[in-house]
Chain A
Amino acid sequence: MMELIIQLISSACFILGALLILSGGVGILRFPDFFTRMHAAGITETLATSLILIGLMLIAGWGLVLFKLVLILLFIMLTSPTASHALAKSAMHGKLTPIIHNNHSG
């Protein structure tokens, strides 16, 4: 019984994660410029990967595999903001100007 529940929860995590990756992909295609697309990529690299890794952790059970999955999650959480920042910074230094919404000043 317990196993079934865990499997259901992990499947839910996988489906949600897949939907989020799809949303991230649609966002990358849909948003108007580089900087806004980066926000869409942010979905895939934070919550979507976390959900998929959590789903894997649930079916991995206690053991070394669980520890390695936690390590992967930790490394992604530490490296992805660094990579995004490096991308944004180099785009800015490359004189790419972001599209600014100027409906109201501020």
Chain B
Amino acid sequence: MNKHTISLFFLLAILWLFNSGLYTPLLLALGLVSVFFVIWLSLRMGIIDDESQPLHLSRKLPAYYWWLAKKIVQSNIDVVVHVWRGNSSISPCVATLPIGQQSEIGKVIYANSITLTPGTVAMNMESDSVLIHSLTAHNMEELRQGEMAQQVNRLEM
């Protein structure tokens, strides 16, 4: 039993308890059985590791989510302004930016954050670069300055 299995057990148990809301012995027993069944399946598939349970990130994640939420609100307002101003205000462009993140999960978080903020979409991932489509040249410039990459780096360290 490593810490990833234990964390998965608690995660699944909490998920069951809060989703069912019925606390009779029969249902609790069924819940326990299904939690163990899922853990057994995941162990067989070999997917219980740092990637599915990124425990090493959990202390820093709330701060990153907070930063990302602010970023999402900003870029939403930006895109809404462009929607109502019309096509003359947008300047779509495509560019390849390097990825500084070392770990796989860092790369995934970076690319997903790019896609999650409206105005930029990650179109293709290579091992050390990402192809990005952006709604305006300004959006691309912002990504190039690398504030988001820095935030993900801070998360990874």
Contact = CB atoms under 8 A, between A and B. Distances in A.
Interface of A: 20, 23-24, 26-27, 30-33, 35-36, 38-40, 42-43, 46-47, 50, 64, 67-68, 71, 77, 80-82, 84-85, 88-89, 92, 98-101, 103-104, 106
A101 B93 contact: yes
B123 A20 contact: no
A42 B80 CA distance: 10
A46 B90 contact: no
Nearest to B76: A47
B150 interface: no
A13 to B, nearest CB: 13
Q: Which residue among B15, B21, B83, B122 has the maximum number of chain A CB atoms within 10 Å of its CB?
A: B83
Contacts of A35: 92, 121, 133
Interface string B68-79: 000011001001
A40 B83 contact: yes
Interface stretch (B24-32, B45-53, B99-107, B112-120): B112-120
Contact of A100 (B94, B115, B122, B135): B94
Contacts of A89: 123-124
Contacts of A88: 115, 121-123, 133
Contacts of B72: 46-47, 50
Given A35-B92, A36-B92, A92-B123, 18 more contacts: A30-B83, A32-B87, A35-B121, A39-B121, A40-B79, A42-B116, A42-B118, A43-B76, A46-B76, A68-B19, A81-B113, A81-B115, A85-B123, A88-B123, A89-B124, A98-B133, A101-B91, A104-B137
